[in-house]
Amino acid sequence: MSAARKQSVLVCMVLAAVLGGCLPKPHIQHFTATPPVACPGDEVTLRWETNGPVRIEAFPEIPALGRKDNTGTQTVTISGPTRFHLETSRVFGLKKELTESEVLSPPKDLEYGVVDAEGRSQFTCSEQTGALESSFQLDGSHLSPNVRLGQVTNMNARPLVIGKGETSETVREGAKAPGFEGQPAQGLWQLRVPLDAGESCEDALESVDGRLIIKFQLACPR
């Protein structure tokens, strides 16, 4: 076999090996946009990690995205609900992996609350104080500081005392608590279920089925 023929065969073998998958497949370790709820004009931070160079696009379009290194962060300003698209590819784009992350903008109704996780109770209860209690924190990982509250709805099957800062309201099943309107949604939320006469803590926890959920009507400053 001539030298030119051998070189041609070697090139074909190398290309076959490359295209056949000897190089690692494109893989996205993570891609996030934080916070996932934000108002027009708010900043959102993108974080990604892949095993190859990436291309990031936004819909609607945001300048300064495009091609990026395999790992990085970037803060961008959104104009409203935005969908971010990340794609990584290897071997001249013949193999690709892609994912998307979405940022919502109010007006939007979302539910937050407390749910038992892996058997570790998120609730405290005392028959002496006569209440089942829990709390949860909304911070910058959930929504931007500009997001404001409309009405707050008790989504539980019994009356609930909802508290945040200096505001506290007793809200019957399925009813709304208008006293939080206009406040920032971020903060520590405290939930309290008064025990009925003669009710045990175990019965109260069973009655809420290990979860206390409230619905937030979210808005942005006008």
User: pLDDT-based confidence at 219, cuts 50/70/90?
Assistant: very high
**87: pLDDT strictly greater than 80:** yes
CB 30 within 8 A of CB 44: no
In this model, does residue 44 exceed pLDDT 80?
yes
Residues linked to residue 108 through DSSP beta bridges, in sequence order: 218
- 182 — phi, psi (to 5°)? 90, -15
Question: What is the C-alpha R_g of the chain?
Answer: 26
* Average predicted confidence (pLDDT) for the chain: 88
Q: Which amino acid is at 99?
A: T
Give, in words, the CATH class of 24-103.
mainly beta
Among residues 61, 30, 220, 47, the alpha carbon closest in space to that of 144 is found at 220
pLDDT beyond 60 at 11? no
Mean pLDDT of 3-12: 51
**For residue 151, pLDDT beyond 90:** yes
Q: Which pLDDT band holds residue 7 (cuts at 50, 70, 90)? A: low
Task: Name the helix (H) or strand (E) containing 11.
Answer: helix 3-17
Q: In 127-202, which ranges are E strands? A: 131-138, 148-154, 160-164, 167-171, 176-177, 187-194
Distance CA 25, CA 2 (A): 35
pLDDT category at 16 given cuts 50, 70, 90 is: very low
Our measurement of the distance from residue 40's CA atom to the centroid of its chain's CA atoms, rounded to an integer in Å, reads: 18
> What helix, strand, coil percent values describe the chain, rounded to 5?
15, 50, 35
Nearest to 192 by CA among 146, 158, 148: 158
The pLDDT of 210-217, averaged and rounded, is 95
Q: Is the confidence at residue 53, as pLDDT, over 50?
A: yes
> Is 108-219 assigned to CATH 1.25.40?
no
Band of pLDDT at residue 104, cut at 50, 70 and 90:
very high
pLDDT above 50 (res 140): yes
pLDDT band with cut points at 50, 70 and 90 for residue 91: low
Confidence of residue 9 (pLDDT cuts 50, 70, 90): very low
Give the domain ranges of the chain: 24-103, 108-219
SS (H, E, C) 51-119: CCCEEEEEECCCCCCEEECCEEEEEEECCCCEEEEEEEEECCCCEEEEEEEEEECCCEEEEEEEECECC
